[in-house]
């Protein structure tokens, strides 16, 4: 939420009409400020793309990389322009219908910037400001480019932020992705948004630019998005849904908040901690690095020496912590995951147990770490939740074919129609028909339902250390 640093005129009377007019002034001023910020952000974000990812806005011939500095500049230098725009909005911009939407009451525990929350539904002209032209006007990728991942990109990002109007955000995301011909998965909840989408390089850059134009997400920057080579073909389609949690931990956001998370460490800080741990293992018995991803992710890539719990789902993490408190007691704990989102509430849960000396988490996850250190301490492949299954930053192969034990780390889905387990079966074994995750699936591929195979039934739900 942007901060208005200047006072609204105090109404001369305390009667209801005067108070109502003051509310209109406040909303009009916020909207005027918002529109001014958009006017200096949009060109840089849309045209600069990733080449100018550190340049958020240009105003008065100065480059701004942080919203706080930009807002302070606008509030100080462009005060008269904001005042003039506010007057214009009050005179022309508030129809009775729009005012009713803007003054819609919110619950006390929800975000207070309701002009931002309702920016989408305040009027069609505001919605169009947050969307590109119709998709027929945009350049589409050729089938050859799609097949080769040429000029294609996949984005991975999340943002914890109170969202009162989740339906409005869902509608906006659907329309935005459809116009930009993006596919992927987007989870929206009252606590924030979690997304991974793919498409052409140009259209994914446009997506980022339009996303950070939204009033709810103006404090995000382009470097908050993790990027990798890919395309719209790496997803089965577009899924945008409203959920209770943006990553399923099984605990209500009202009971566990990411504001209680462990201290964020940059990839450089995390790398230094790993270096110290590697150089002096005997002096670091009170330090533990822990992977809070699923077992099939750490199986193909990990930080050597880290604790990799044999968990099938992230929702098992609280039980794992409860039953293995001794692992973390009076220790400095360094957590990591793919992009950082699971560590937010995962570290909050561990921290709230009160047994650790300190809890840290890798900011941006392994994804950002291997961008900075492609041949660093993370070895093997980074598992991703799309048809690619993994991203490779080094040549190490940590896993083996489950049938012949040859080094192999390329996943395929189990050939049993209802199973959906991931299988490590090398080319040679697959040509011999070994395409299932276990003997049960191999013999009864048409009858098996999800999570009924040997891979699930024989796995210990919560491993004890």
Flag whether pLDDT at 246 surpasses 70: yes
Number of neighbouring beta carbons within 10 Å of residue 91: 9
pLDDT of residue 134: 72
Spell out where 162-286 has E strands.
183-189, 192-200, 226-228, 238-242, 263-265
378-383 and 390-392 strand pairing: antiparallel
Q: What share of the chain is helix, strand, coil (3-state, %, to 5)?
A: 40, 15, 40
What is the CA 154 to chain-centroid distance, rounded? Answer: 12
CB 414, CB 423: distance < 8 Å? yes
> Tens digit of pLDDT for each residue in 157-206?
999 999 999 999 999 999 999 999 999 999 999 999 999 999 999 999 99
What is the CA 132 to chain-centroid distance, rounded? Answer: 22
DSSP structure class, residue 250: S
Number of neighbouring beta carbons within 10 Å of residue 141: 20
41 — pLDDT class (breaks 50, 70, 90): low
Distance CA 289, CA 308 (A): 9
Residue 56 φ then ψ, to 5°: -80, -40
Distance CA 412, CA 186 (A): 23
Number of neighbouring beta carbons within 10 Å of residue 136: 7
Buried b (16+ CB within 10 A) or exposed e, 218-245: bebbbebbbbbbbbbbbbeebebeeeeb
pLDDT of residue 67: 66
pLDDT of residue 23: 63
Spell out where 377-431 has E strands.
378-383, 390-392, 412-413, 422-423
Distance CA 225, CA 201 (A): 13
CB 359, CB 335: distance < 8 Å? yes
301 — pLDDT class (breaks 50, 70, 90): very high
256 — pLDDT class (breaks 50, 70, 90): very high
> Tens digit of pLDDT for each residue in 352-362?
999 999 999 99
Which is nearest to 164 in space by CA: 223, 227, 120?
A: 120
Token pair of 142, please? 């050729």
9 — pLDDT class (breaks 50, 70, 90): very low
pLDDT of residue 88: 79
Token pair of 124, please? 């069609």
Which is nearest to 60 in space by CA: 52, 69, 51, 47?
A: 69
When comparing pLDDT for 461 and 397, which is higher? 397
Mean of all residue pLDDT scores within the chain: 81
Flag whether pLDDT at 374 surpasses 60: yes
Q: How deeply is 322 buried, as exposed, middle or buried, from its count of CB atoms within 10 A (0-12, 13-18, 19+)?
A: exposed
DSSP structure class, residue 402: T
- Give the residue-averaged pLDDT of 293-317: 95
Active site residue: 337, 356, 437, 455, which one? 337
Distance CA 308, CA 326 (A): 16
* C-alpha dist (Å) from residue 217 to 21, 25, 48, 119, 211: 28, 23, 19, 12, 7
Distance CA 368, CA 78 (A): 37
Flag whether pLDDT at 404 surpasses 50: yes
| pTM flag (> 0.85) | no
Flag whether pLDDT at 49 surpasses 50: no
Q: Determine the 3-state secondary structure of 214 from DSSP.
A: coil
Verify whether residue 292 is a known catalytic residue: no
Percent of the chain scoring above 70 in pLDDT: 77
Flag whether pLDDT at 448 surpasses 70: no
Spell out where 258-357 has E strands.
263-265, 287-291, 301-303, 332-336
CA angle, 50 then 373 then 289, to 5°: 120
Half-sphere exposure (CA, 13 Å, Cβ side) for 206? 23
When comparing pLDDT for 49 and 386, which is higher? 386
What's the chain's Rg over C-alpha atoms? 25
* C-alpha dist (Å) from residue 272 to 178, 290, 311, 377, 408: 42, 16, 28, 10, 30
Kind plus residue range of the DSSP H or E element containing 63:
strand 62-64
Terminal Cα-to-Cα distance of the chain (whole angstroms)? 45
Q: For the CA atoms of 222, 225, 230, 236, what is the dihedral angle to 10 degrees?
A: -120
pLDDT of residue 352: 96
């Amino acid at each position: 939420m942007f901060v208005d640093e200047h006072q609204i005129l105090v109404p001369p009377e305390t009667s209801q009409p005067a108070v109502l007019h003051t509310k209109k002034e406040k909303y009009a001023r916020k909207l005027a400020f918002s529109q001014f910020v958009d006017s200096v952000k949009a060109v840089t974000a849309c045209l600069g793309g990733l080449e100018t990812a550190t340049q958020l806005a240009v105003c008065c011939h100065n480059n701004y990389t942080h919203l706080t500095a930009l807002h302070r500049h606008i509030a100080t230098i462009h005060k008269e322009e904001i005042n003039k725009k506010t007057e214009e909005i009050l005179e022309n911009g508030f129809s009775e219908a729009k005012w009713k939407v803007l003054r819609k009451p919110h619950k006390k525990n929800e975000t207070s910037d309701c002009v931002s929350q309702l920016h989408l539904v305040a009027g069609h002209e505001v919605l169009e400001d947050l969307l590109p032209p119709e998709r027929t006007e945009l350049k589409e990728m050729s089938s050859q480019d799609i097949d080769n991942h040429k000029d294609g990109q996949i984005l991975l990002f999340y943002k914890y932020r109170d969202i009162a109007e989740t339906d409005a955000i869902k509608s906006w995301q659907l329309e935005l992705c459809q116009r930009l011909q993006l596919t992927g998965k987007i989870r929206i909840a009252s606590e924030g948004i979690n997304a991974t989408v793919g498409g052409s390089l140009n259209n994914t850059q446009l997506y980022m630019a339009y996303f950070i134009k939204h009033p709810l997400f103006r404090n995000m920057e382009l470097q908050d998005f993790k990027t990798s080579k890919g395309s719209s073909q790496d997803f089965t389609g577009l899924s945008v849904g409203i959920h209770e949690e943006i990553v399923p931990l099984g605990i209500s956001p009202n009971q566990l908040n990411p504001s209680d998370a462990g201290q964020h460490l940059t990839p450089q800080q995390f790398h230094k901690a790993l270096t110290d741990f590697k150089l002096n293992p005997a002096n670091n018995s009170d330090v533990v690095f822990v992977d809070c991803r699923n077992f099939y992710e750490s199986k193909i890539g990990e930080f050597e020496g880290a604790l990799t719990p044999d968990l099938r789902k992230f929702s098992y993490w609280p039980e794992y912590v409860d039953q293995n408190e001794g692992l973390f007691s009076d220790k400095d704990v360094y957590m990591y995951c793919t992009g950082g989102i699971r560590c937010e509430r995962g570290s909050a849960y561990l921290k709230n147990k009160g047994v650790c000396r300190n809890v840290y988490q890798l900011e941006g996850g392994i994804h950002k770490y291997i961008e900075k250190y492609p041949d660093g301490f993370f070895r093997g492949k980074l598992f991703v939740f799309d048809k690619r299954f993994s991203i490779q930053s080094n040549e190490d192969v940590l896993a083996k074919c489950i049938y012949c034990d040859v080094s192999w780390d390329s996943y395929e889905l189990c050939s049993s129609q209802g199973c959906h387990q991931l299988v490590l079966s090398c080319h040679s074994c697959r040509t011999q028909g070994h395409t299932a995750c276990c003997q049960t699936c191999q013999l009864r591929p048409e009858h098996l339902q999800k999570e009924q195979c040997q891979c699930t039934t024989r796995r210990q739900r919560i491993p004890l250390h």
